[in-house]
């Protein structure tokens, strides 16, 4: 293997040394032996802890390598400290607007990082930063300034690689159903990728009777008024929310005591009849639609959830300690009996991720679908 990059004897002797002397050196080092003989000879030495001598420094190779391990670990740590934060930032900004000019520019940078040879980049950094600008030393070891140029040279390749992986993962994540749901409910792109502390309030209205639930969908706020048997809607605008309007059409009223609602384009309202039986009502464009739960008799619940990406309705039955799954055509689909449901007050389901989340006080419980 030492001959793959040239004749090792040429590294050991001066150029004026005769070919006869060179041949004698090759013979003494066993370089003229067949490849398999040299391989097994080296393998036998490795097993015994003998890694041979350095042809360049003419000293045992193992101690030379061990003395350089601390420097290698230091350089590795500095390189990754530089590479990982930069790569994650590049990948994130690239994924926010895929196929945009910014994405193409950052992708080109990451590809350059993967493609450029480390040794060439190192030489260019020495030439520009150390020789021309004289900002950093060209070589040596001491303070942190001696590790910056080598670390930058080594960091450029992982920056490109990690940035590509981060972009791919984020683009895939941004296409998940819960992200699409957040967008469909009016959450801005900035709100999808970060948490905002800003507040945009809807003032209290004297016409409200008793608000029992609130949902946001397509940028609008829907309030379930149990006392007035009405659903109020505040349309989203560029500056906030417009004035209130009644969403249920004329002559449409909720059948029973309103318990909660969920929105997926239609509005599904959970109500309790006088005999305490739970009923789910479906409304489309303010008009009630025929809907009846079939396949089970004792349906209870205190919260309901679905979204436009889900195929089912998920009813949290706190009293029964279960989550009941119902098809959007009304058929009973199954249930998950879990002790945590007895403490839960709200529910969210992610069919794409295969999980149900239950909110119980300060805890969030996870159920696998």
**Per-residue confidence of the chain (369 residues) as pLDDT tens digits?**
455 556 676 666 666 777 777 777 677 666 766 777 777 777 776 777 677 766 666 667 777 777 778 878 888 888 888 888 888 888 888 887 777 888 888 888 888 877 878 778 878 888 888 788 888 777 777 777 777 788 888 888 888 888 888 888 877 776 665 565 555 555 555 544 543 334 445 566 777 888 888 888 887 888 888 888 888 888 877 666 777 888 887 777 787 888 889 998 899 998 887 777 788 889 888 888 888 888 887 788 888 999 888 899 999 988 889 999 999 998 999 999 988 888 888 888 988 888 898 888 778 888 888
- The pLDDT of residue 301 is 83
Q: 317 pairs with which residues across the strands?
A: 322
| 224/364 same-domain check | yes
Same domain? 139 vs 267: no
Residue 55 lies in a domain: no
Are 159 and 223 contained in the same domain? no
Examine the domain organization and report whether 216 and 157 are in the same domain.
no
Residue with tokens 């370089």: 31
Give yes or no for a contact between 224 and 260, defined as CB atoms under 8 angstroms apart: yes
Per-residue pLDDT at 268 = 92
74 and 158 fall within a common domain:
yes
The C-alpha angle 33, 34, 37, rounded to 5 degrees, equals 85
Residues in a beta bridge with 130: none
Domain residue limits at 231: 211-368
Residues with Cβ < 8 Å from 244, sequence gap 6 or more?
205, 207, 232, 233, 234
**What contacts 273, CB < 8 A, 6 or more positions away?**
255, 256, 257, 279
Whether residue 336 sits in one domain with residue 261: yes
3-state helix, strand, coil in the chain (%, to 5): 40, 25, 35
In this predicted structure, what is the pLDDT of residue 197?
A: 37
The model carries a pTM of: 0.47
3-class DSSP assignment, residue 182: helix
**Which residues, in sequence order, are CB contacts of 157 under 8 Å at separation 6+?**
113, 114, 116, 118
Same domain, 157 and 277: no
Q: Which helix (H) or strand (E) holds 245?
A: strand 240-246
Q: Which residues on adjacent β-strands are paired with residue 60?
A: 53
- From 149, 173, 197, the end of a domain falls on 173
270 and 331, same domain (yes or no)? yes
Tokens matching residue 249: 């059409």
Whether residues 138 and 244 fall in one domain: no
User: Which stretches within the chain are classed as H helix?
Assistant: 8-12, 19-29, 35-47, 61-67, 69-96, 101-115, 118-125, 145-173, 177-184, 189-193
Half-sphere exposure of 274 (CA within 13 A, CB side): 0
Query: From the CB of residue 242, how many other CB atoms can be counted at a distance below 10 Å?
Result: 13
Distance CA(346)–CA(116), nearest Å, equals 53
């Amino acid at each position: 293997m030492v001959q793959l990059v040239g004749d090792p004897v040429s590294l050991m002797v001066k150029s004026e040394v005769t070919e006869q002397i060179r041949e004698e050196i090759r013979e003494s080092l066993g370089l003229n032996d067949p490849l398999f003989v040299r391989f097994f000879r080296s393998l036998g030495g490795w097993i015994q802890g003998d890694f041979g001598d350095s042809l360049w420094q003419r000293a045992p190779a193992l101690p030379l390598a061990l003395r350089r391990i601390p420097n290698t670990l230091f350089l590795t740590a500095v390189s990754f400290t530089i590479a990982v934060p930069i790569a994650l930032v590049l990948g994130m900004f690239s994924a926010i607007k895929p196929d945009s000019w910014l994405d193409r520019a950052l992708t080109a940078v990451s590809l350059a990082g993967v493609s450029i040879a480390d040794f060439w980049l190192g030489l260019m950094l020495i030439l520009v930063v150390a020789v021309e600008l004289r900002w950093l030393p060209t070589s040596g070891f001491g303070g942190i300034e001696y590790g910056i140029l080598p670390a930058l040279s080594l960091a450029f390749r992982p920056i490109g690689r990690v940035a590509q992986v981060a972009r791919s993962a984020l683009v895939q994540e941004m296409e998940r159903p819960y992200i699409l749901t957040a967008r469909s409910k009016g959450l801005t792109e900035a709100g999808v990728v970060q948490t905002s502390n800003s507040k945009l309030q809807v003032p209290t209205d004297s016409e409200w009777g008793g608000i029992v639930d609130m949902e946001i969908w397509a940028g609008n706020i829907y309030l379930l008024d149990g006392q007035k048997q009405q659903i109020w809607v505040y349309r989203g605008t560029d500056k906030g929310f417009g004035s209130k309007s009644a969403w249920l059409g004329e002559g449409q009223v909720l059948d029973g005591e309103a318990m909660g609602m969920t929105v997926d384009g239609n509005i599904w309202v959970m109500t309790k009849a006088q005999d305490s039986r739970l009923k789910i009502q479906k409304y489309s464009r303010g008009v009630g639609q025929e809907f009846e739960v079939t396949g089970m008799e004792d349906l209870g619940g205190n919260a309901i959830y679905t979204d436009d990406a889900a195929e089912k309705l998920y009813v949290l039955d706190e009293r029964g300690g279960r989550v009941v799954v119902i098809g959007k055509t009304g058929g009973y689909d199954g249930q998950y009996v879990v002790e945590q449901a007895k403490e839960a007050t709200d529910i969210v389901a992610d069919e794409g991720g295969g999980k149900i989340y239950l909110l119980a006080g300060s805890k969030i419980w996870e159920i696998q679908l």
